[in-house]
Amino acid sequence: MAELAKGIRAYIIIGLLAALAALAGIFTLPPLDRDESRFAQATAQMLETGDFVSINFLDEARNKKPVGIHWLQAVSVAAFSSADAREIWAYRLPSMFGAMLAALACFWGGQRLVGRKAAFAGAALFAVTILLGIEGGIAKTDAMLVGCTTLAMAALAQLRAGKGKKTALLFWFAIGLGALIKGPVTPMVAGLAVLVLVIWERKANWLKPLGFWPGPLLAIAMVLPWLISIQIATDGGFLRQAIGDDLAPKLAGAAERHGGLFGYHLLLAPLLLFPATLTVIPGLAYVTSALRGRTDEKTANAARFLLAWAIPVWIVFELLPTKLPHYVLPAYPALALIAGWGLMQLNKAAAWQKWTSWALFAVAGLVFAILMPVLFVVYGNNASWDAVRLSLAGFEGGFELGLDPAVATIVFLTAAIFAILTGAALMAARGRSAVLVLCLAVAAGLGWQVMARGAAAPNAYAVRLADQVRAARSYSQTIAGIAPEDIVTASSYTEPSLVFSLGTDTLLGTAEEVMAFAEGREEPTLVVLDLSRDADLRHGMLAWFEVVRGDEAARNFIDTWSAFEDRANVCHLGLASGTNYSRGDETVLALVWTQCAAPDESTPHSFRPGPEFEEWLDQEFPNDPQD
C-alpha cells in the first residue's frame, strides 16, 4: 500500500480511477431523461443565443438551479464539439472532471484525517463507487457539486491541522463554486459540519483563518454578479421561482413523485457505496472505538470530523420529503475514508464486523450481477404489439425482434466478470493483504461501471426513443427533399431528450396542437405522435389503418386524420417503439412526414393497408394487453 500511496503517483492513480469510472458509457449512452437532457438543452441554447445569464428550456425560463454547470458545459462544448452537433458526451465532461476533483480532494483532505495509506484506500474506493461513477457520466450538477463540497471539506480538514490563509482562500473558492453549481448545498454541508464540531468540541480557534477577509469576499464575488444579473433579467423571478417553485415543494412534500420513508438513503447505501461497502462496517467500528477513547486524540479528532461531515447532511436528506439517491452523495467521501480506515484495520476487526460488511458487499454484488442482465433482456428490444401492427400496416421501421447475439454475449460476459471480481474481493478480504483487497474491490467497482453503463444500458434499444426518431429523421432528404437538420419537428412526445437530440426548433404540444401546426405550414414537417399518451389517438390510428375495430371515438379520429392527410399532404409514415422509462410506459411513436418537396409518385396519397394484409387484419387479436 505504501508504494501505491507515494508522492504524485497516488494522485495520478486516483484521478485515473475516477476518470475511468465516469468514462464508462459517457460516449455511448444516449441523452437521458429528464434532468440531463434539460441541462444539456439549456446549455445548447446559451451557445446558440449568446445569452449566458438566463437559463431556458425552449421558451420556458428554467429558474431552478444556478448557472455554474451550464458555464462549464458551454466551455466544454465550445472546446470539443458544437451546439449544432448535439453530442451529449461533450456536455458530460465537466461531470467527469467533477468526479475526479472529488476523489482527489478526498485523498488530499483524508491524509490529514486517517493517514496517507488509509486515505489512498478510501479515495480509490470512492473514485469507483457506483453513485459517483454514475453522476460523473451524466451532464448535470451533482458530480461537480460533490467535487466542490469535498474540496471545501478537505480544506477544513487541513485547517484543523494548522494550515493557514491560503487554505482558507481555497475553502471559500470551493464554497463560491459550489454555490454557483447548486446553490445552498455546499455551504450547508460545510456549515453543518462546523456547527457540530464547535458544539461537540467546544472550541473554534481552528476556524480563525476563515475570517481572513479576502476569502468571504472571493466567494461573494464569484456568485453575486451573476445573481444580480439574473434577477434583473427575470424581473426578480429567479430567486422567487428557485425558492418558491423548486425548493419549497421539496421541503413540503414529495416533489415530482420522488418520495420515500426515513431510512431510504440508508437502505440504498450498501448498493450505491459499492465497493466501499466491503470495509465500511469495520471502519465505523474503528470510529466508535476512537470516540470511546481507545485510540490517541488525533484519531478521535479525525473520527469526530468524519461523523460531523457525514451524519448531519445525511439526516437532513433523510428528513427531506423529496428523495433521490444522489442527494446524499456529498457524504460519501467521508464514508469512503471510514472504509479506508476499515481496510487498514481489517485484520484487527471483530468477526461480526467483517462478516456484516462482507454480507452487504456480497448481496450488492449478487443483486447487480442478476439485475443488470435482466434489465438488458427486458429493454434490449422494442417489439411492442402496436409496433408490429403498424409495421404490417405500412409504417416503416421502428422495432427489433429479439436480442443481438453479439451484444447479449458482451453484456452477459461483463456481468460474469463483475461477479468473479466481486467474489475474488470477498475471498481476498479473508487474507492479510490490504493491497490485494483494495485492488480487487476497485476492479469490481470498475467492473460494475463497464457492465452497467458500458455494455447493458447503451445497448438497451427499447429506451432509445429519441435516438430512433433522430435516426428516422436522417432520411428526410430522401423522403421530403430537405436536409435532416433543416426539417422542423412537431411532437406530442415531450421528453427533453427528443428536444436535445433534434434541436431547439422542436415544437412540443398535444397531438391536436402538433397536427394543427403541421397543417398550417407549407414547408416539410416531421410530426411525432405519441400513441401511448392519448387512448383515442392510439385507437383511432389503429382503426384508420384497419388493424382494430372502430368505435365512435375512433370514427371521430378518422375524420380528423382524413382532413389532416389532405391539408398537410402526408407523404411518408414511420414509427419508433420502446419504453418511456421516465413514466414506465410502453410507447409507440407514429412519425409522419408532411408537405414533402419531392413526393414519391408511386405512393398512393391515402395511406391504407393493401389487400395483402386482409387475412391478417381479420384477426381479433384477443391477447392484446392494451385493448
Q: Would you say 22 and 96 are in contact if contact means Cβ atoms under 8 Å apart?
A: yes
Q: Is 232 exposed, middle or buried (0-12, 13-18, 19+ CB in 10 A)?
A: exposed
527 strand-pairing partners: 490, 592
Q: Would you say 144 and 95 are in contact if contact means Cβ atoms under 8 Å apart?
A: yes
Residues 6+ apart with CB under 8 A from 3: none
Mean of pLDDT values over 94-122: 97
What is the overall mean pLDDT for the chain? 90
* Predicted confidence (pLDDT) per residue in 193-231, tens digit: 999 999 999 999 999 999 999 999 999 999 999 999 999
pLDDT at 339: 97
Residues 6+ apart with CB under 8 A from 604: none
Predicted confidence band of residue 585 (pLDDT cuts 50, 70, 90): confident
3-class secondary-structure state, position 541? helix
Q: How far is CA 320 from CA 63, 188, 264, 436, in A?
A: 21, 14, 11, 40
Task: List % helix, strand, coil for the chain (3-state, nearest 5).
Answer: 65, 5, 25
Amino acid at 57: F
Q: Would you say 565 and 607 are in contact if contact means Cβ atoms under 8 Å apart?
A: yes
pLDDT at 563: 85
Predicted confidence band of residue 403 (pLDDT cuts 50, 70, 90): confident
Distance between CA atoms of residues 527 and 472, nearest Å: 12
Mean of pLDDT values over 409-430: 96
Predicted confidence band of residue 606 (pLDDT cuts 50, 70, 90): very low
Q: What is the DSSP letter of 322?
A: B
Q: pTM for the full model?
A: 0.92
Neighbours of 7 (CB within 10 A): 7
Q: Which residue is listed with cell 384477426? A: 619
Amino acid at 567: R
User: What b/e string do you get for 294-309 counting C-beta neighbours within 10 Å, with b at 16 or more?
Assistant: eeeeebbbbbbbbbbb
Predicted confidence band of residue 392 (pLDDT cuts 50, 70, 90): confident
Indicate if the pLDDT at residue 29 is higher than 70.
yes
For the chain, give the number of residues. Answer: 627
* Predicted confidence (pLDDT) per residue in 55-74, tens digit: 999 999 999 899 999 999 99
DSSP string covering 369-404: HHHHHHHHHHHS----HHHHHHHHTT-B-----S--
pLDDT at 487: 94
Mean of pLDDT values over 37-66: 95
Q: What is the DSSP letter of 581?
A: T
7-23 and 116-127 helices, crossing angle to 10°: 20
Q: Would you say 131 and 325 are in contact if contact means Cβ atoms under 8 Å apart?
A: yes
Cell of 556: 371521430
Domain limits, the chain: 7-349, 357-462, 464-617
User: What b/e string do you get for 167-195 counting C-beta neighbours within 10 Å, with b at 16 or more?
Assistant: bbbbbbbbbbbbbbbbbebbbbbbebbbe
Nearest in space to 139 (alpha carbons), one of 42, 50, 239, 20: 42
Predicted confidence band of residue 404 (pLDDT cuts 50, 70, 90): confident
pLDDT at 602: 40
**Cα-Cα-Cα-Cα dihedral of 66, 69, 71, 72, to 10°?**
160
**Cα-Cα-Cα-Cα dihedral of 181, 185, 190, 191, to 10°?**
130
Q: Would you say 600 and 424 are in contact if contact means Cβ atoms under 8 Å apart?
A: no
Q: How much of the chain exceeds pLDDT 90, in percent?
A: 73
Q: Would you say 282 and 354 are in contact if contact means Cβ atoms under 8 Å apart?
A: yes
User: What b/e string do you get for 479-495 counting C-beta neighbours within 10 Å, with b at 16 or more?
Assistant: bbebebeebbbbbbbeb
Neighbours of 370 (CB within 10 A): 12
Among 123-137, 303-317, 523-537, 590-604, the range scoring the smallest mean pLDDT is 590-604
Residues 6+ apart with CB under 8 A from 202: none
Mean of pLDDT values over 226-254: 84
Asked if the bond preceding 567 is cis, omega within 30° of 0, the reply is: no
Q: How much of the chain exceeds pLDDT 70, in percent?
A: 92
3-class secondary-structure state, position 585? strand
Nearest in space to 152 (alpha carbons), one of 179, 126, 128: 179
Mean of pLDDT values over 388-405: 81
pLDDT at 493: 95
Indicate if the pLDDT at residue 505 is higher than 70.
yes
Q: Would you say 155 and 109 are in contact if contact means Cβ atoms under 8 Å apart?
A: yes
Mean of pLDDT values over 509-521: 93
